[in-house]
Amino acid sequence: MIKSYLYVDKTDNMGRGVFTHERIPANTIIEMSPVIVMTKDDKLHLDKTLLHDYIFDWGKQQDKCCMALGLIPMYNHSYKSNCEYIMDYEDDVIFIQTVRAIENGEELTINYNGDWNDSTKVWFDVNN
């Protein structure tokens, strides 16, 4: 499930990102997408490729990894993200939910650290 008002477009400084054609209220689930679950050994190989930046650690023990489908790989990182992701390990799904109201035309972002307000430094330089 991906809300019909979401779209991918170019950003000013982060390649492409996810945007909205409509105002979205806080606490709205805007996407529910399946994931492809892989082993930690698979992740060792993926870490040597461009896909490294698109893989999530997965499982209650974080002993696997996954590639999310849908628009999820297109959400850019922000330390002040306006969305959060929720992992459902039983159904192998990731949800994206807004944490505040988002205005028409605004980019939707997630915090790659997991918690929407986690300020721990990520593995790449951040412009926000």
- State the pLDDT at residue 4: 96
Average pLDDT over residues 1-5: 95
91-112 residue pLDDT tens: 999 999 999 999 999 999 988 6
The secondary structure of the chain in percent helix, strand, coil, rounded to multiples of 5, reads 10, 40, 50
Least confident range from 22-31, 52-61, 81-90, 110-119: namely: 110-119
Residue 77 has pLDDT above 50, yes or no: yes
Question: Model's pTM, two decimal places?
Answer: 0.83
* Confidence tier at 122 by pLDDT (50, 70, 90): very low
Please give the pLDDT value at position 117. 61
**Which of 62, 58, 60 has the alpha carbon at shortest distance from 94?**
58
Question: Going by C-beta distance under 8 Å and a sequence separation of 6 or more, which residues neighbour residue 122?
Answer: 77, 112, 113
**Strand stretches in 1-128, DSSP E:** 6-10, 16-20, 29-39, 55-58, 64-68, 76-77, 83-88, 93-98, 107-110
